Amino acid sequence: MNLSYCVPRQRNLLKILLTKNEWITGVQLSCMLHVTDRTVRSDVSVLNYILEQYNSSILSARGKGYYLQSKNKEALYFVLSKNSEFKNISKETCIRKILLLLLTTNTEIDLYDLEEKLFISRTSLESYIKNIEKILVDFSSLKIARKHGKIKLSGPEFSIRFMLNEILKIQYDHELGKFYCENEYIAETDFLRVYSYVISCIKKSNLFLDENGIVSIALYLAISKKRIKEGQLIENKEYHDTFRNPNQYDNDDLVYAVAKKMYGAIIFDKLGVEIEKAEIYQIAIQLSFVNLFQTKDFSKEELIKNTSPLIINIVDSLVQVIKKDFYLDLTNDEELYIGLILHIRALVNRNRYCHEEINPILDSIKSQYPFVFELSLHIYEIFNDVMGIKLTEDELSYVTIHIAGAVERLSMQHSQNQTKIVIISHLSASYSDLLVLKLHSIYSSKIQIVGLFPIYRWKEALAAKPSIILVTSSVSQILIRKSKSEIPILKIGPLFSADNEMALNILLTKIRKNIIYSKKTEDSIFSKFDKTLFFQNIHCQTVKETIDFLCDQLEQGGMVPKSFRKFAFEREELASTALANSIAIPHPITACAYHTVFAVAILKKPILWGKYKVQIIFLIAVKPEEKSIIKDFFNFISFLMDTPKDVQKIINTDSFSDFLRFIQSIKI
């Protein structure tokens, strides 16, 4: 006889003694195993008989309890774990597997069996069950009942399916064109069959659905098909008051028609009129989580007419805040309005049913559009104030995409106007003429060369009021900078090299982007750095410690109210402010400073900040009426993100004056 013949309870008892290198009383063991002291004594006797072959025994002593004496604990560990398919798995995986068992098992689940299957202690199991109960808070209709050492999840079928759709993982590798079904409930072949049907339905209905949306709908339908075959049906009463709501748009009929087609093509079971109606409504709800339409499908007036005023107000508020605080007027962009309305309608439905949307390119969006991502944060405040909904950074990043598109469209409109350029050249006329011809051949109608001047006529070049000055010698650069002109200067070679072209392209893009703002920031960002708020070789080891340190300095200097710290941590909790290239830019979720300042901390060693290692921290404190300066600050940060060598120069800077001198040399 060996340990494999023991009942789960006895193996659990041995497991507890094996992991505890100390005496355990009989009372403690009986409580942990939910049995009587007498059962513990009986199980110890059985185990001692078996343990002889493992050179082990359980000692017992009055007043002390029980203790496992063994010279071969490794062998015991091996025997106890070899039959467990889930050994050495993470806490998160354990929780997901327990939740999946609860959702897909119609009978009570014995806690002993769960311990045995997962090879975990009762203490760990209880901790995991508590975690699951926290997860189920958002699904208030799902409850875990406990009776006589057994647990069972109960609740309406539609909630069970929603939860299954959230925890089952289907991943699609776009490069390989392959799906990975990381679960034991839905077979990959079944999923792929449903996936093909979904694409066919979407095509026939002439709708638009991205890959993530198709995967999500296909997974839900695959779950529904399996649940129906198992006899788990959605009852008629379950869907009442779940689909139609004040925020739902008037394309319900179209969405319902698509849901009906999918039901007929994929599930096609004859269940009776009322049950079929309930099933179709639940598919329609899933479809309402995604945007099935494109902006070209509607006019702004048509959409406003058929959309909840609450959603229209949210979009209007966001666009007006961006215009008022950042002088960026997007009010005439009809495509932006339509895109945001369609997106927010789907977002409201996702939130209502606790459906979490993941953006696979979140980090790329935050990296390429850091300022626009900050603009999107205003919708977080609006949603929180108007609807009591706290958006995730994934949801915010989708809003960022819509605003970024509007900014690009506005930039393209302005780029149709030629950028005025003057050239100050020390070269002969033939070389200078060749340079002009080359610029025209590369940029054609994008630029207008308003003058070609020798060095001694540099003042006339400035009087032409160009947007960019190109110079062929350092002498010209020095003269113009001494005049304190704010016109960007770019030194180029006599034959305008590939590097010169790249530098001019960057400059043209920055100028084009700045043109779209109706008002320039009055103060330079460099005037907002303060010697008393510049710290080098700081020994902070965590994000919290670093933010607390800088907030302490701002509070002591009377720069910010005490609420500043709270808002800064709230912003950090919403989305990490770490960026690429060792930089983090913590700041409050709302502008609330008494004075606009940028505090700088250069750490002795990099620390992990979200997903990135960070060594330079810029804490942003901005007065409510000076929000527009944030745009210029992000231009500066975007430059640093693209130039690792300049970040290293800042890390190695000797003093505040050297730091300020260096950043002022950066043309942003």
pLDDT, tens digit, 9 for 90 and up, residues 98-134: 999 999 998 999 887 787 777 777 788 889 999 999 8
- Under CATH, what is the fold of the domain 417-515? Rossmann fold (3.40.50)
pLDDT of residue 178: 66
Residues of the chain with CATH 1.10.10.10: 3-81, 91-155
pLDDT, tens digit, 9 for 90 and up, residues 224-249: 999 998 888 887 655 544 444 434 43
Is the predicted pLDDT of residue 586 greater than 70, yes or no? yes
Rounded to whole angstroms, how far apart are CA atoms 620 and 600? 9
| Range with the largest mean pLDDT of 181-195, 406-420, 459-473 | 459-473
Rounded to whole angstroms, how far apart are CA atoms 67 and 53? 18
CATH class assigned to 297-394: mainly alpha
pLDDT of residue 515: 67
Q: What architecture is the 525-664 domain classified under in CATH? A: 3-Layer(aba) Sandwich (3.40)
What percentage of the chain carries pLDDT values higher than 90? Answer: 28
Between 146-160, 269-283, 380-394, 478-492, the lowest mean confidence (pLDDT) is in 269-283
Contacts of 576 (CB under 8 A, 6+ apart): 584, 609, 610, 611, 612
The model's pTM:
0.70
pLDDT, tens digit, 9 for 90 and up, residues 502-513: 889 888 877 776
Residues of the chain with CATH 3.40.50.2300: 417-515
* Residue of higher predicted confidence among 79 and 182: 79
H or E element, residue 621? strand 612-621
Phi, psi dihedrals of residue 45, rounded to the nearest 5° = -60, -45
pLDDT of residue 248: 43
Residue pair 343/402 in contact (Cβ under 8 Å)? The answer is yes
pLDDT of residue 304: 84
Residue pair 138/354 in contact (Cβ under 8 Å)? The answer is yes
Is the predicted pLDDT of residue 83 greater than 70, yes or no? no
Contacts of 115 (CB under 8 A, 6+ apart): 8, 12, 15, 121, 122, 125
* Residue of higher predicted confidence among 83 and 159: 159
Helix 273-287 with 211-229: angle, nearest 10 deg: 160
pLDDT, tens digit, 9 for 90 and up, residues 315-329: 999 999 998 888 888
pLDDT of residue 58: 92
Q: What architecture is the 3-81 domain classified under in CATH? A: Orthogonal Bundle (1.10)
Q: What is the mean pLDDT of the chain?
A: 84
CATH class assigned to 91-155: mainly alpha
pLDDT of residue 117: 74
Residues of the chain with CATH 1.10.1790.10: 297-394
Paired sense of beta strands 178-181 and 419-425, if any: unpaired
What average pLDDT does the segment 579-597 reach? 92
Is the predicted pLDDT of residue 608 greater than 90, yes or no? yes
What are the tokens at 195? 């996936």
